[in-house]
Amino acid sequence: KQQEVQSEKVYDTQCPYCSMQCKMQLIEQSIVSRKKYTTVGKDNPTSEGRLCIKGMNAHQHTFHQDRIKYPLLKVNGEFVRISWQEALDHIKKQFTEIQAVDGQDAVSVYGSASITNEEAYLLGKFARVALKTRYIDYNGRLCMSAAATAANQTFGLDRGLTNALTEVPFTRVIILAGTNIAECQPTIMPYFEKAKENGAFIIAIDPRETATTQIADLHLKVKPGMDAALANGLLKVIIEENLLDEQFIKKRATGFEEVREYVTSLSLHDLSDLTGVPIEQIKTAAIKFASEESGMLFTARGVEQQIDGTAAVRNLLNILISTGKIGKPYSGYGAITGQGNGQGAREHGQKADQLPGYRLIDNEQHRAYIAKVWGVDKDELPGKGVSAFEMLKKIDEGEITGMFLMCSNPVVSNPNANFVKAALKKLKFLVAVDLFVSETAKLADLILPTSSYLEDEGTMTNLEGRVTLREASRPCPGEVKHDWQIICEIAKVLGKEEYFPYTKAEDIFDELRIASRGGKADYYGITYDRIRKEEGILWPCPEVDHKGTTRLFEESFSHPDGKAKMIAVKSIPDVPKEKPNEEFPLYLTTGRVMSHYLTGVQTRKSAALAARNFESYLEIHPETARKYGIDHNKLVTITSKRGSIVVRSKWSEKIRQDTVFVPFHWADSQNVNKLVAEELDPSCKMPGFKLSTVNVTPV
């Protein structure tokens, strides 16, 4: 029976999940004794009004009964409600004592790429000015740091996409390397589908057949971890077939001769063996990409989450430069960011080596500029810290004994998760800021409740580098505070109130604009008013009358000489990767499913999303499954050198026979990161999530 709608409220908002940051409206209707929620997409230049299943159901976690609504202190192993003042006094006492006894750097900060630009900026300032610790890093280190480092090394600048997404439909050839956009950023897909309709040739590089590889004209089913070698094969064909853009290389790049000398010394036959990709396929992909007038290359975690991820991305960028496919219409590079603010959160000081605007903490001029903006002495700013996983190691070693953790779940997201949990238990004091009592928050001494996407206001920078504004559309429930308010209140009890005088998110953004001015990620010309009027602005935007930058590198790259830097990349890196052996005969690779986000803290609370994927699984080829006695849809124990998990089997002919796949959104006995090795990429400190070796046995 149709019931009468008694009242209706519309929340204008933005999806809290992936880097598309789709605009949407949540419509709340009161009907007798219940509320009905409907989410609809809102037109905008990036997602054009589209939404995926995650965005449509995001409100379910916001309204979930398990939301933390007041501070919780662990007393005798149980969390008890306390007041904010008690929580703040407790933090002051604990952090002050720890720093007095164990040293200034003994308190660390672990941030997130799901928070706003304002909060990411403020967290960096909080670590350096209020806590005066060198140890700050964030979960983005585990996400796209390899692509960021590779872009910085090659181009001198890291912005997710070098071109606006609107150029994609008009390009002639596309390489999608290690990216499953159809599941991870579903609303981006129509750009690629339009390109295909317009005649583009699409090449996918992935060990698995996925919803994304289905749109490809050619799927290179590479062995896990062999992307750098595959890029060498492609480069070799391009060079030998005389398909180079010699003029572009000469004018715009350095280092090409070294690349030429190295790749021509390789055998295509050996590269085919190494990568598992037939020679004919390598040739077709290389000739097709190099022959077309325009082309775009996209990478994501499949290539990047490797211990040679930086090198592998650099080698793919070598292809782009060799063929002159960057800095011109419909040609360019994109690292498809995973987290909602994966781009903005990596620009303004949350990283161990970084100050706002992509400035560097060990550069004297950069330190002086930021110290002036913050009103502190540059010599008082701490030095460079270490990466996220290395901070966890320092906890294990006893050098770090306190941690302020904001909106992150390292127990589930880091490699060798059993080690991480044991390390975090050693902390003298752990404060976790979160929406829910996550697996990591459970280990905390104190949990502080934070606002959700419907309540918090601030800017996010999407995968294009477009700065967007998410307005607050609902008051915080209970005693919940925004992340930036929490940071300011802790700074106040630590006696640093004068440096944190903000009354709203826009005040922080206005300071960020100045702090980023003249830096590589220059936001100075972007204001809240402009974002509202212009529906987002792509940085760099150095002046308020600058229209933003939709295409990078048209005239020059961002190195001092204006040239892109090419280097020869070894097919097999010096850092040893795990190889299948008798005990652990299979490659394990990990990834996402469409209905979940990161470690699932929010999406596992959504009934609609959890119903689609309520548990993890093992994707295994039927031939492999038979070999190891694994039936379809049965529980399987997966074991690596570091631990074991139990998940249900899913037979699939879409995966290589030497490889199994497990998604990473689940915790405890289903947490696949318990199996993953902790070795890090030497350049960017990314763990090798995409390659471990395991065995599988039926339960």
| Contact set with ligand SF4 (CB under 6 A) | 15, 17-18, 20-22, 47, 51-52, 54-55, 185-187
Residue nearer to ligand SF4 on the CB measure, 47 or 452:
47
The Cα 247–Cα 256 span in angstroms is 12
Inter-residue contact 614 to 603 (CB < 8 Å) = no
Nearest to 501 by CA among 380, 374, 359: 374
Residue nearer to ligand SF4 on the CB measure, 346 or 513:
346
DSSP annotation string for 234-263: HHHHHHHTT---HHHHHHHEE-HHHHHHHH
CB of 302 to ligand SF4, least distance (A): 18
Residue nearer to ligand SF4 on the CB measure, 17 or 191:
17
| Dihedral angle computed from the Cα positions of residues 655, 335, 674 and 418, in that order, rounded to the nearest 10 degrees | 180
Q: Residue 249 corresponds to which tokens in the numbers above?
A: 């290389």
Residue nearer to ligand SF4 on the CB measure, 21 or 408:
21
The Cα 17–Cα 185 span in angstroms is 9
CB of 50 to ligand SF4, least distance (A): 7
CB of 185 to ligand SF4, least distance (A): 5
CB of 449 to ligand SF4, least distance (A): 23
Residue nearer to ligand SF4 on the CB measure, 154 or 602:
602
- Residues with Cβ < 8 Å from 603, sequence gap 6 or more? 17, 54, 61, 595, 596, 597, 609, 610, 665
Residue nearer to ligand SF4 on the CB measure, 52 or 271:
52
The Cα 44–Cα 573 span in angstroms is 43
- Residues with Cβ < 8 Å from 85, sequence gap 6 or more? none
Residue nearer to ligand SF4 on the CB measure, 217 or 471:
471
CB of 461 to ligand SF4, least distance (A): 13
CB of 598 to ligand SF4, least distance (A): 11
Residue nearer to ligand SF4 on the CB measure, 453 or 587:
453
CB neighbours (10 Å) of residue 430?
A: 25
CB of 341 to ligand SF4, least distance (A): 11
CB of 61 to ligand SF4, least distance (A): 13
CB of 55 to ligand SF4, least distance (A): 2
The Cα 486–Cα 446 span in angstroms is 13
Inter-residue contact 162 to 553 (CB < 8 Å) = yes
Radius of gyration of the chain (CA): 24
Inter-residue contact 475 to 455 (CB < 8 Å) = yes
Integer angstrom CA distances of residue 689 from 46, 276, 308, 439: 29, 20, 11, 19
Residue nearer to ligand SF4 on the CB measure, 114 or 485:
114
